[in-house]
């Protein structure tokens, strides 16, 4: 194996421009066409043996620069030592520097129109910790992966993912758990790995989703203003440490999803903004290229090279870090030219419309390439409008995403739950409306970090009533969510009822779990919901088609009660769901699909979860027509509770 840390020659002892280029004519062709999907294998800083010499090859795109040099601690940050040569007409600048070791810091010194700036590498694979801004030379190929079984299984089952349970634990790595001895210090990827993996596994989630882990200059942005698209943030360790974390999840049969931000980027001077003295990565016109409400710049999706940069970045995370899915942030802001803009602040497309046609084509290309090259991965759109066909295949005219966040369900449901139970009957339609469009897309039901910040409060904090009612409502909300068609996502801390809004700079309030009947009970409730969700096909088999759901009674607004059936392909495996959104137990007749007895397999009001113990056990079928069905069961709907009933089939 080649030792790339060898230093056979000093970095200043040879003319770096005298070495052969690593680029082929095909590379230039693909880059110009905007289809060099593995451009990260050539651009950036790579250990190479060129003309028999060991060193690092640097390659960067800056077509309008007059001079570019690579500077670093290996050449005393002297721009005269390693000037780069320009390849025409691609605008790629290249230099091979012998003797550079892993861990070396570097930047590009870019000169354009007499202005000189020092820039981080747009395809840098690692970076110094903020506020320092240099890129760091690393070898991403030295980690030995141990997740072969997971990766093989993911590909083999790629065509069946829609019918599998997907329950996602959304987490922020810097604030999930911090050491009590050093609460102001970020944890390391490896330090957190064993505890986080074990916790997510114990709670029964199928996936974990991380808020952005790409390098970002402002911690307070939570990672959504990315400065290093190809660099895993150094806040929590090195690339191989993050690989270890992903690997650990895979070895425990848990998928890893990343929040990914191709919509915009910050204006920091060492980043992409006017990288070569011109609007290279962004639109020149601020009516297209600036996002005033976020203080960021918009990627120029009309440029082949920029679209290539973003698609290749998505493929990079799937390739080098074995990521299983990308949740694409702020898709609506990409789709609409007038998003967040007043009249006169935006430019229409060539047909006079408000759609960003270039962004649409980029998203289609993104989904075609990611799914074709990595079967079994997921792409998830955070898209809050009624844009049609977000999850329809590109060949059928859609955008090609695997799934879409159901923001409408989230807003309506949380608004309904905040109402005093006395008044919920006047808002009954907020709960039934989601079923009007539940199968128009392939939805994820999200209760995400966005719902516990910026003064919105928390799930427990917003629940009306006394302490018992607050926790009963949280159990009711999650139970209803897990029974509702669609995959699931819950933000960390919500599973045990954190009172405080999420603070990115503090650990979750794990001490609350000492209150076993309340916080501990809620955590056990979520654990059992995941267990039942994975076990019972009715809750995931037909999640995205209307055949998987049927109302029993959606009109009982006076008593704020909902009953419905979740169904699997095998009709014998159905589950009857009864949800009572008032704090009063209600004895009800419920029409059922089968002429058999039913067993209550779950009740959110169980004492095990901190509930009052109102339940049913075995319920006997009655020849009493009800809810337009020939037979029914009589159930006691628990206060602020949900019950699941499974048919008992006699052999």
Q: Which of 209, 305, 382, 600 is catalytic?
A: 382
- Give the pLDDT mean for 112-118: 94
Instruction: Give the count of alpha carbons within 13 A of 566, CB side only.
Output: 26
pLDDT tens for residues 472-494?
999 999 999 999 999 999 999 99
Q: Determine the pLDDT at residue 17.
A: 61
User: Pairing mode, if any, of strands 296-298 and 264-265?
Assistant: antiparallel
Cα-Cα-Cα-Cα torsion 580, 582, 587, 588, nearest 10 degrees, comes to -50
Distances (CA, A) of 286 to 222, 329, 632: 25, 21, 63
Distances (CA, A) of 7 to 53, 54, 73, 126, 485: 9, 7, 15, 21, 59
Whether residue 241 lies in the annotated active site: no
Place of tokens 């369900």: 409
495 contacts 448 by C-beta, under 8 angstroms:
no
* 11 has a pLDDT exceeding 80: no
* 10 has a pLDDT exceeding 70: no
C-alpha–C-alpha distance, residues 195 and 174, integer Å: 14
pLDDT tens for residues 508-544?
999 999 999 999 999 999 999 999 999 999 999 999 9
Distances (CA, A) of 330 to 65, 259, 260: 31, 10, 9
- Of the residues 136, 164, 183, which one is the last residue of a structural domain? 136
Domain of 524, CATH number, reads 2.60.40.1180
Is residue 391 in a domain?
no
Q: How many domains does the chain have?
A: 2
Is residue 576 in a domain?
yes
Strands (DSSP E) found in 472-566? 487-491, 549-553, 561-566
* 8 has a pLDDT exceeding 80: no
The arrangement of strands across the sheet holding 53-61 comes to 44-50, 53-61, 92-98, 85-87
Is residue 247 in a domain?
no
Whether residue 290 lies in the annotated active site: no
Q: Could you tell me the residue range of the domain that residue 433 belongs to?
A: 412-440+453-486+508-651
Looking at the chain, the whole-number percentage of residues with pLDDT higher than 90 is 93
Q: Determine the pLDDT at residue 2.
A: 41
- From the list 123, 32, 28, the residue with the least C-alpha distance to 305 is 32
Number of other CB atoms surrounding residue 147 within 10 Å: 19
C-alpha–C-alpha distance, residues 368 and 272, integer Å: 26
Classified as helix, coil or strand, 485 is: coil
C-alpha–C-alpha distance, residues 108 and 518, integer Å: 55
Number of other CB atoms surrounding residue 107 within 10 Å: 21
* 324 has a pLDDT exceeding 80: yes
* 16 has a pLDDT exceeding 90: no
Q: What's this model's pTM, rounded to 2 decimal places?
A: 0.95
The DSSP string of 62-123 is -TT-SEEEEEETTTTT-TTTSBPEEETTTTEEEEEEETPPTT-EEEEEEEETTEEEEE--TT
227 contacts 216 by C-beta, under 8 angstroms:
yes
Q: Taking CA 159 as the corner, what is the angle to CA 156 and CA 160, rounded to the nearest 5 degrees?
A: 95
Containing H/E element for 443? strand 443-447
* 6 has a pLDDT exceeding 50: no
Q: How far is CA 473 from the centre of its chain?
A: 27
Q: Taking CA 33 as the corner, what is the angle to CA 31 and CA 35, rounded to the nearest 5 degrees?
A: 70
pLDDT, averaged across the chain? 95
Distances (CA, A) of 342 to 125, 292, 330: 38, 11, 18
Is residue 110 in a domain?
yes
Q: Determine the pLDDT at residue 184.
A: 85
* 545 has a pLDDT exceeding 70: yes
pLDDT band, very low/low/confident/very high, at 15 (cuts 50, 70, 90): low
Place of tokens 């320092």: 132
**All residues at 6 or more sequence positions from 404 whose CB lies less than 8 Å from its CB, including other chains:** 380, 381, 383, 390, 391, 441, 442, 443, 444
- The region that residue 391 occupies, defined by phi over 0 for left and psi between -120 and 50 for alpha, beta otherwise, is alpha
pLDDT band, very low/low/confident/very high, at 419 (cuts 50, 70, 90): very high
Residue 374 has phi, psi (to 5 degrees) of -135, 75
Domain of 34, CATH number, reads 2.60.40.10
Is residue 537 in a domain?
yes
C-alpha–C-alpha distance, residues 611 and 598, integer Å: 22
Is residue 445 in a domain?
no
Q: Determine the pLDDT at residue 650.
A: 86
- Of the residues 136, 171, 188, which one is the last residue of a structural domain? 136
Distances (CA, A) of 577 to 35, 167, 240, 255, 606: 49, 19, 46, 29, 16
Instruction: Give the count of alpha carbons within 13 A of 604, CB side only.
Output: 34
C-alpha–C-alpha distance, residues 103 and 457, integer Å: 43
On the question of a cis peptide bond just before residue 593, with omega within 30 degrees of 0, the verdict is no
Two tokens at 80?
């005269």
- From the list 279, 396, 401, the residue with the least C-alpha distance to 334 is 401
The DSSP string of 554-576 is S--TTTTEEEEEE--SSGGG-EE
pLDDT tens for residues 24-46?
999 999 999 999 999 999 999 99
Is residue 176 in a domain?
no
C-alpha–C-alpha distance, residues 362 and 306, integer Å: 10
Two tokens at 55?
């060193």
- From the list 99, 76, 86, 95, the residue with the least C-alpha distance to 13 is 99
Q: Which of 329, 358, 451, 556 is catalytic?
A: 329
262 contacts 309 by C-beta, under 8 angstroms:
no
Is residue 283 in a domain?
no
pLDDT tens for residues 240-264?
999 999 999 999 999 999 999 999 9
- Of the residues 105, 136, 167, which one is the last residue of a structural domain? 136
C-alpha–C-alpha distance, residues 262 and 363, integer Å: 10
Looking at the chain, the whole-number percentage of residues with pLDDT higher than 70 is 97
């Amino acid at each position: 194996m080649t030792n790339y840390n060898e230093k056979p020659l000093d970095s200043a002892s040879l003319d770096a421009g005298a070495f052969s280029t690593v680029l082929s004519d095909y590379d230039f062709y693909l880059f110009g066409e905007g289809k060099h999907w593995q451009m990260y294998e050539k651009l950036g800083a790579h250990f190479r043996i060129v003309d028999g010499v060991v060193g690092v090859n640097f390659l960067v795109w800056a077509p309008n620069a007059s001079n570019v040099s690579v500077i670093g601690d290996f050449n005393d940050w002297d721009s005269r030592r390693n000037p780069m040569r320009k390849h025409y007409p691609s605008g790629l600048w290249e230099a091979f520097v012998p003797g550079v070791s892993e861990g070396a810091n570097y930047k590009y010194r870019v000169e354009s129109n007499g202005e000189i700036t020092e820039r981080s590498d747009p395809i840098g694979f690692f970076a110094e910790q903020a506020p320092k801004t240099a890129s760091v030379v690393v070898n991403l190929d030295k980690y030995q992966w141990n997740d072969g079984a997971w990766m093989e299984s993911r590909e083999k089952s790629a065509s069946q993912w829609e019918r599998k349970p997907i329950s996602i634990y959304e987490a922020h790595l810097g604030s999930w758990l911090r050491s009590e001895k050093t609460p102001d210090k970020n944890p390391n990827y490896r330090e957190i790995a064993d505890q986080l993996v074990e916790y997510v596994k114990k709670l029964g989630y199928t996936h974990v989703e991380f808020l952005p882990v790409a390098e970002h200059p402002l911690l307070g942005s939570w990672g959504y203003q990315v400065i290093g698209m190809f660099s895993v943030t150094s806040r929590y360790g090195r690339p191989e440490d993050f690989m270890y974390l992903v690997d650990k999840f895979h070895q425990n049969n848990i998928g890893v999803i990343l929040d990914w931000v191709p919509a915009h980027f910050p204006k920091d001077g060492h980043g992409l903004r006017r990288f070569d003295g011109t609007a290279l990565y962004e639109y020149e016109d601020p009516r297209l290229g600036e996002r005033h409400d976020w203080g960021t710049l918009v990627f120029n999706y009309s440029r082949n090279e920029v679209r290539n940069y973003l698609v290749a970045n998505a493929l990079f995370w799937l390739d080098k870090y074995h990521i299983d899915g990308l949740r694409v942030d702020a898709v609506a802001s990409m789709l609409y030219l007038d998003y967040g803009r007043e009249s006169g602040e935006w430019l229409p497309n060539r047909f006079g419309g408000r759609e960003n046609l270039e962004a649409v084509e980029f998203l289609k290309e993104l989904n075609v390439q990611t799914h074709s090259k990595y079967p079994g991965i997921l792409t998830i759109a955070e898209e809050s409008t009624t844009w049609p066909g977000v999850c329809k295949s590109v060949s059928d005219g859609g955008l090609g995403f695997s799934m879409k966040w159901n923001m409408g369900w989230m807003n309506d449901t949380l608004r309904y739950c905040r109402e005093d139970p006395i008044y919920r009957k006047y808002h009954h339609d907020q709960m039934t409306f989601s079923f009007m469009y539940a199968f128009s897309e392939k939805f994820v039901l999200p209760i995400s970090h966005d719902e516990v910040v910026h003064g919105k409060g928390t799930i427990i904090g917003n629940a009306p009533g006394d302490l018992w009612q607050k926790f009963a409502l949280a159990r009711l909300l999650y139970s209803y969510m897990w029974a509702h068609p669609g995959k699931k996502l819950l933000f960390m801390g919500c599973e045990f009822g954190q009172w405080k809004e999420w603070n990115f700079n503090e650990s979750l309030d794990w001490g609350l779990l000492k209150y076993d009947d309340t916080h501990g009970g809620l955590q056990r409730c979520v654990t059992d919901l995941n267990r039942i969700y994975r076990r019972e096909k009715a809750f995931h088999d037909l999640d995205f088609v209307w055949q998987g759901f049927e109302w029993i009674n959606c009109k009982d607004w006076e008593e704020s009660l909902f009953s419905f059936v979740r169904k699997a392909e095998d009709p014998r495996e159905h589950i009857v769901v009864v949800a009572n959104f008032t704090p009063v137990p209600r004895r009800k007749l419920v029409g059922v699909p089968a002429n058999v007895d039913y067993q209550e397999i779950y009740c959110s009001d169980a004492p095990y979860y901190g509930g009052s113990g109102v339940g049913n056990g075995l319920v006997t079928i009655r020849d009493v027509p009800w809810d337009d069905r020939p037979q029914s069961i009589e159930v006691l709907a628990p206060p602020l509770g949900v019950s699941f009933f499974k048919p008992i089939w006699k052999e």
